[in-house]
Amino acid sequence: MMDARTPALPAWSGEGEQAKWEDRTAIITGAASGIGREASLALSRAGARVVLVDRDKGGLEETRSLVGSGQALVFLADLLEAGVENAIVDEALEKFASPDILVNCAGVFPTRPALDLPVQEWDGVLNLNLRAPFLLSQAVARQIVSTGRSGSIVNIASTAGVVARPRVAHYCASKAALIMLTKVLAIEWAEHNIRVNAVAPGLVETPGVTGSLTTEEDEHEHQQKLAKIPLARSGEPWEIADAVVFLASSAASYVTGHTLFVDGGYSAGHTFRG
């Protein structure tokens, strides 16, 4: 596995691009840890102001301290609460400016055999992984349209949206739907100069993933996944964040409706080791 680190600023968001980011405001959900935190750091390094959204207060404050309080706004929220999407946009408007970048990263991935899956858990996963991104995208898009500016929405999908896995029927379904939602919103909102894309990570070393390895069965499945990745390693959160910054940047100005797989080749085909 590669060392966990934050890389240098990507070339497409370096000093030559800095002026293009200085007046941009990005909302990132799931910003308290993992991919959401790294996306927040990467966007702030590029020059954007960031609105950090999560329900984990301690994690949010830590992310803000890493970003720098002058460039970051913390919004403690449960994305399943009615009307929260409008409250987030209003807070961004009040403290910074009209948001023109949205990264829908918050999500959950509990594991359970389909035969034992209760409807409450199904609804909880679909609501957070699909309904919440749609409602926040809608709220941000309406604000962008009202200003006449351009915008970029990046949804964090998953290889599980195209490659089925056991014991995560609800998660796979939510991410497959998010990939299709990305395409639909891209074609509907193109006339408003709003690009909508997705990043589909493979196996990534996040606190959520490592924390889920609580049984021998979980650890065995984890090793099986690693054995099927052509690059023979898991990814790092900053590698996903770099893809997010690319899709949000002017380097991707002619890219919309696309899902960028950042998965070590997992979705291309499997290798089998051991």
CATH number of the domain where residue 233 is located: 3.40.50.720
Per-residue pLDDT at 28 exceeds 80? yes
Q: How many CA atoms lie within 13 A of 246 on its CB side?
A: 16
| Total number of domains constituting the chain | 1
| Sheet arrangement for strand 101-104 | 72-76, 49-54, 25-29, 101-104, 151-156, 194-201, 259-262
Q: What's the predicted TM-score (pTM) here?
A: 0.92
The DSSP call for residue 231 is: T
* pLDDT value of position 4: 45
| Residue 39 included in any domain | yes
Res. 215 pLDDT band, cuts 50 70 90: confident
| Residue 252 included in any domain | yes
| Cβ pair 51, 25 in contact under 8 A | yes
Joined tokens for residue 146: 């009202």
Joined tokens for residue 250: 């002017």
Helix axes 57-67, 34-46, angle to 10 degrees: 30
| Residue 209 included in any domain | yes
For residues 163 and 197, what is the distance between their CA atoms, to the nearest angstrom?
19
Res. 221 pLDDT band, cuts 50 70 90: confident
Beta-bridged to residue 151, according to DSSP, are 194
| Residue 211 included in any domain | yes
Over the stretch 246-263, which tens digit does the pLDDT of each residue have? 999 999 999 999 999 999
For residues 129 and 104, what is the distance between their CA atoms, to the nearest angstrom?
9
| Residue 267 included in any domain | no
Closest CA to 152 of 218, 224, 245, 39: 245
Q: Which string of DSSP letters, residue by residue, matches 43-101?
A: HHHHT-EEEEEES-HHHHHHHHHHH-GGGEEEEE--TTSTTHHHHHHHHHHHHT----E
| Residue 141 included in any domain | yes
CB neighbour list of residue 236: distance below 8 Å, 6 or more residues apart: 2, 4, 5, 204, 205
| Cβ pair 118, 177 in contact under 8 A | no
| Residue 147 included in any domain | yes
| Cβ pair 131, 106 in contact under 8 A | no
Res. 270 pLDDT band, cuts 50 70 90: confident
Over the stretch 120-141, which tens digit does the pLDDT of each residue have? 999 999 999 999 999 999 999 9
* Distances, alpha carbon 98 to alpha carbons 9, 183, 193, in Å: 25, 24, 15
Query: Three-state DSSP class for 216?
Result: helix
Catalytic residue among 75, 171, 189, 261: 171
Minimum mean pLDDT range among 65-79, 93-107, 180-194, 210-224:
210-224
| Residue 166 included in any domain | yes
Per-residue pLDDT at 214 exceeds 60? yes
Instruction: Clarify whether 254 is annotated catalytic.
Output: no
Q: Which domain holds residue 92?
A: 13-261
